Amino acid sequence: ERFLMAYRRSRPPGSGRRVIVSRGRVYAPSQFVLGCVVGFILSFVVMVAVLTYFLPAIAKGTMPPMAPTSANTAIPGISGEAKTNDMAKNSEPEVIAYPKNPVPFSSKTLKKVSKKTRIVKQGECFETDVDYYGNDVEGGKDAKTPEECQEQCVSATKCNYFTFEVKRNMCWLKNTKIGRRPGKDLISGPRNCSEVMEIRELYDEYESVTQAQQKVKEAFQYAWNAYEGSCFGQDELRPISRGCINEFGMGLTLVDALDTMKLMNLNREFTKAKNWVKTSLKFDIHKDVSVFETIIRILGGLLSAHALSGDQVFVDKALALAKQMKPAFNGKLPASKVNLKTGRTSSHTWAPNVHIIAEIGSLQIEFWYLSKVTGDPWWGEYGESIIKALETTKTQKPGLYPTQIQSSFTFTQNHISFGALGDSLYEYLLKMWILKGKKSESMYRRMYLQSIQSMMSHLLTKSKEGLWYIAESRGTALDHKMDHLTCFAPGMLALGYHHKVSPDEEVNKKHLEAAENVLETCVQMYMRWPISPEMVRFTPYMTMGTATNFQRPETVESLFVLWQVTKDDKWRKYAWTIFQKFESHLRVPGGYASLNHVGDTNSKSDKMESFLLAETHKYLYLIFDDNPAITIDNYVFNTEAHPVPVPST
């Protein structure tokens, strides 16, 4: 293997050669034949030695002691990490012909290529030691940062991609189009995939914030028109098949998008949707619905529509919904699911007889505002009673709450997350402190500061490549992963800094610094792939964990808050790039699709999420508004991006 690697490196790769793939390595036929001959000779010598010396010696008990070996011995040029593709599983070598215009091959395995064209998954790194395609652009040189490498790409002719390797501060410029050539075409230079720090596609910059905001508005209208044309009054749209989803039976996308339409001055669309709410929205539905999702999306959407429009119909519908759900609030903790017609409550099938900490801690904003607009204090008092009981509940790490809790306020496990199942509890602690007058002795403020102090002490981590992330915890062990959902946290931290949540200004500054650091990592989740995956791992470099994309808003949410706090234009530039990625990779003739695998933008999933219109488009629209009617000073957003006004102080 050492001889063959040295031999093939000494020969420049030429187009039109035939190569042979064996055990995940690429060889020319002459190399492979020579390797087979050398391997046969060496194998024969070893076999003779075993038969003539070692076996008799072992039988006689005269075997000399073996020299010590290292468990970490590595063959130069071969990554120590396990291969993630399927090539290593193939026992038979397969032959591939490379003509002058190389035939694309599958990203998962080098199967025989004949008449059928195969396109590599976009943004994936395929490990080889030789760049067979050589589509480099002249001008690449050493760079200290990805930004310097990007500047080289911008100034070079025909550069569409760059690759930056932080270990050697090296920059490669590429002129291929993503998905048109094999993966190494995009990498070119780094010796294995773990060394690739950046694979970034260049996007156009916006001409003006007005132009950028108009583009976002047009994207929202495109999504809304697709929903209105096929599924008006239904919950969600299937953008590929033009079918509909009706899991809740309450016009989920319509109600979720009401305040976005009002913000964008889409008066025709808003009026039509309001009339549907007035005449057609009913709640005596024989369906078991998620209490959490119904509160943050439907109840929150109705209350926010009232806050922005002043229309009483939205308050009336919100109160009717809350009363229909009231059987879910008979206990100290809200039930996970409720049948809106019968009142029967139940747990999630995947979490029987327990409550999810994010769910019990994410109704306080909605219930507080419902009490405010109806004059009935019960709702706000119920929400606050949950937090009071939670404050007195002991945890292993002060302020960090395991994701599952029983009705007796005891925890059933030790999983702590600022991503799925835990996230919005911490966000609501801060926002309730803001809504209730920012009192220094507030329970919400006290709990929030304790939670963030523990998070920064126990979960905030810096990877080997310098990326900050909020890990998860299971007892004393850290799980070095981060959900895209966790990308709400930079916005939360920056919001706390802006409102001076800590009396110690140095603490507030540390919160802002952590916000900026983690948000840079969230942005990198978009830059290293065509669009962000659902979850990444740090082992120790950032790698794809869960490959799906669901049109999530958390990164652009934090970009909006950081923009309002710092006015640093880089946050707007990041938002514009992410918006273009949504347009490039998720937009389909019937709306916006999700992705089953972000490395393959053809792997569309037939669902347009309601929060694309409620959150993602809303935050993108607001970040490109120099004079927004809604700011982080006069409004607080619930976890579904539905704004409620902050009382005048």
- Please compute the mean of the pLDDT values over residues 473-479 and round it to a whole number: 94
The domains of the chain, with CATH numbers, are 1-64+82-116 (no CATH), 119-202 (3.50.4), 209-645 (1.50.10.10)
pLDDT in tens, 506-531: 999 999 999 999 999 999 999 888 89
Which residues fall within 8 angstroms of residue 236, CB to CB, at 6 or more apart? Answer: 227, 244, 245, 247, 252, 253, 607, 608, 609, 610
Render 94-152 in DSSP notation, one character per residue.
Answer: EEEE--SSPPP--SS--PPPSSS---PPTT-----SS-SS--BPTT----SSHHHHHHH
Give me the sheet containing 345-346, strands edge to edge.
288-290, 337-339, 345-346
- Please compute the mean of the pLDDT values over residues 140-169 and round it to a whole number: 73
- Please compute the mean of the pLDDT values over residues 433-453 and round it to a whole number: 97
> Which positions are catalytic?
293, 423, 534, 554
> Which pLDDT does position 51 carry in this prediction?
64
Distance CA 186, CA 201 (A): 10
> Which pLDDT does position 558 carry in this prediction?
99
Phi-psi region of 133 (alpha: psi -120 to 50; beta: other; left: phi over 0): alpha
> Which pLDDT does position 4 carry in this prediction?
45
CB burial of residue 165 (10 Å; 0-12, 13-18, 19+): buried
> Which pLDDT does position 35 carry in this prediction?
76
CB atoms within 10 A of CB 546: 15
CB burial of residue 142 (10 Å; 0-12, 13-18, 19+): exposed
616 belongs to an annotated ligand binding site: no
pLDDT band at 176 (very low <50, low <70, confident <90, very high): low
With pLDDT > 70 as the criterion, what percentage of the chain qualifies?
A: 74
Distance CA 559, CA 487 (A): 10
Tokens of 630: 């809604």
- Please compute the mean of the pLDDT values over residues 614-619 and round it to a whole number: 99
State the first-to-last Cα distance of the chain, in angstroms, to the nearest integer: 74
Among candidate residues 370, 372, 373, 460, the one with its CA nearest the CA of residue 416: 460
pTM: 0.74
Classify residue 549 by its DSSP letter: B
- Please compute the mean of the pLDDT values over residues 353-357 and round it to a whole number: 97
- Please compute the mean of the pLDDT values over residues 343-365 and round it to a whole number: 97
Distance CA 449, CA 497 (A): 11
pLDDT band at 260 (very low <50, low <70, confident <90, very high): very high
> Which pLDDT does position 175 carry in this prediction?
67
Q: Is the dihedral of CA 307, 313, 316, 318 positive or negative?
A: negative
Render 238-271 in DSSP notation, one character per residue.
Answer: ETTTTEEE-SSSS-HHHHHTHHHHHHTT-HHHHH
Dihedral pair phi/psi, residue 483, rounded to 5°? -75, 155
> Which pLDDT does position 274 carry in this prediction?
99
